């Protein structure tokens, strides 16, 4: 009788242990996938990568002159850089607010991102979905112009909207589609854009192919859908190192903010590539969730 009791207790222990393992496995499979992209920015575009509550993403972005200047101009590095600083803060695990400043036309942007869907490991949610939108203003004083010819504040405002739909197909491959629009209240010729219309539409594409645990080949394509401007194309390399994500790339546009990415114009891929690089860092400003 004692042996039978011990056998029953042992069987119950095995069953309970198996059920606990199954529950943990199911729970883990329902967790979000890890890092569809390396950072909240991918070359120039925002991604679906959310910020946790009370964390901040700081990014320094650069693009230089075209490579065709050769060694004399150090392949564009002597021609000056367009630089953008951006700060984005997680108000919750889904909502974040950001601000940026680009040297091209001294352009300031404020924006927000919200994560609506997050891809899960068991494919109950097969993709991640985020929306972003913002407004910016050209702050260049244009002091070389007569006072009456300088743009008014209302003429300096431009808006953007972006949807990010992304999926991690495997440990190596991640893709994102980004329907985008930008709207200029008054696209003056004095601005460093090539377009002359108010509204610009695009369907951006981002891709990542993981080479090692901490590095990936990257791709960006932003075709103009309602203008004659050339499309944006970029190819690069992401590297995680020391808590930073370094992004080095060749791209056809010097623009960095979302409005100018669509209206700023692009060179011919392969002929007018520019060297660019970003430095991304995420800081925890409070106690992060476990």
Widest CA span of the chain, in angstroms?
A: 104
pTM of the model: 0.84
Name which of 38-47, 77-86, 158-167 the model is least confident about.
77-86
Residue 11, pLDDT > 80, answer: no
pLDDT digits 0-9 by tens, 38-80: 999 999 999 999 999 999 999 999 988 766 666 656 555 656 6
Name which of 9-18, 43-52, 189-198 the model is least confident about.
9-18
Residue 21, pLDDT > 70, answer: no
- In contact, 280 and 43? CB cutoff 8 Å: no
Distances (CA, A) of 17 to 12, 28, 80, 222: 8, 16, 64, 52
Domains and CATH numbers, the chain: 31-284 (2.40.160.40)
Confidence label for 289 from pLDDT (cuts 50, 70 and 90): low
What tokens does 147 get?
Answer: 């006072």
Name which of 10-24, 108-122, 208-222 the model is least confident about.
10-24
């Amino acid at each position: 009788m004692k042996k039978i009791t011990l056998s029953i207790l042992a069987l119950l222990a095995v069953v309970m242990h198996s059920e606990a393992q199954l529950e943990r496995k199911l729970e883990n499979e329902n967790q979000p996938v890890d890092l569809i992209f390396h950072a909240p920015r991918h070359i120039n575009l925002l991604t679906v990568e959310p910020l946790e509550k009370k964390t901040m993403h700081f990014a320094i972005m650069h693009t230089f002159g075209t490579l065709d200047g050769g060694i004399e101009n150090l392949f564009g590095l002597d021609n000056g850089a367009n630089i953008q600083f951006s700060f984005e803060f997680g108000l919750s695990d889904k909502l974040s607010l950001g601000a940026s400043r680009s040297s091209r036309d001294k352009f300031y942007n404020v924006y927000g991102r919200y994560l609506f869907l997050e891809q899960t490991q068991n494919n109950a949610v097969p993709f991640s979905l985020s929306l972003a939108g913002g407004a910016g203003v050209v702050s260049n004083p244009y002091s070389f112009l007569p006072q009456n010819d300088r743009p008014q504040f209302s003429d300096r405002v431009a808006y953007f909207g972006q949807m990010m739909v992304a999926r991690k197909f495997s440990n190596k491959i991640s893709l994102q589609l980004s329907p985008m629009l930008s709207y200029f209240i008054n696209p003056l010729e004095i601005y460093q854009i090539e377009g002359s219309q108010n509204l610009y539409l695009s369907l951006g594409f981002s891709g990542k192919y993981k080479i090692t645990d901490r590095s990936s080949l990257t791709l960006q394509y932003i075709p103009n859908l309602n203008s004659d401007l050339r499309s944006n194309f970029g190819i690069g390399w992401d590297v995680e190192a020391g808590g930073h994500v370094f992004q080095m790339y060749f791209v056809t546009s010097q623009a960095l903010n979302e409005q100018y990415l669509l209206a700023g114009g692009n060179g011919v891929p392969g002929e007018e590539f520019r060297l660019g690089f970003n430095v991304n860092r995420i800081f925890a400003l409070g106690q992060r969730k476990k």
